[in-house]
Amino acid sequence: MIRKINDNDYSKLAQYYEEFNVNNVDIFESSPFINIYVYEENGSVVGFINYSIMYDRTELNYIYVEKEYRKKGIASELMDYFISDAKKNNCKNITLEVAENNFSGIELYKKYDFKEVAKRKNYYKDSDGILMLKELINDGKWCLYTRNRI
């Protein structure tokens, strides 16, 4: 079951923080643009998704599923929820950054038709970052990230 995060969830999600401690960013930063949803199974939080909707675009900040719950479709359910919410909010595109050695993440994003648009050298501790884009509305405008028509 996917639901909005509540105060009782922060201690559980804080356990996941170590995997996302990139550039000293707080994954629970408070902002009117940030949305955090958890995946709950049998009363326990086993994953979450954190994304920002900023006017007509959205960015996937983090998605995580506990190791023992992976390969069960939970990340896909979270992605479906996220993309649906972006569409409901009339977002034109979705962007994300992923470590180039995060093969399962890249596989998940390609499943949802995200395309690699740029690389960020040494963005993560041990690898480059890949900037990926998924178009939701192609209005012929220029893409900020690639400086090309989308």
pLDDT in tens, 29-48: 667 899 999 999 999 999 99
With beta carbons less than 8 A apart as the criterion, state whether 105 and 75 touch.
no
CATH of the domain at 114: 3.40.630.30
Cα distances (Å, whole numbers) of residue 64 to 79, 92, 116, 138: 11, 24, 21, 29
36 assigned to some structural domain: yes
What is the pLDDT averaged over residues 116-137?
91
Number of domains in the chain: 1
129 three-state secondary structure: strand
Any domain includes 146 = no
Q: 76 lies in which domain range?
A: 2-135
Q: What's the whole-model pTM score?
A: 0.84
The total number of residues written for the chain in this structure: 150
- Residue 147 in domain: no
* Domain assignment present for 7: yes
144 confidence band (pLDDT: 50, 70, 90): very low
CA distances from 5 to 2, 43, 137 (A): 9, 13, 28
In a domain, 108, yes or no: yes
| Residue 42 in domain | yes
Residue 141, domain member (yes or no): no
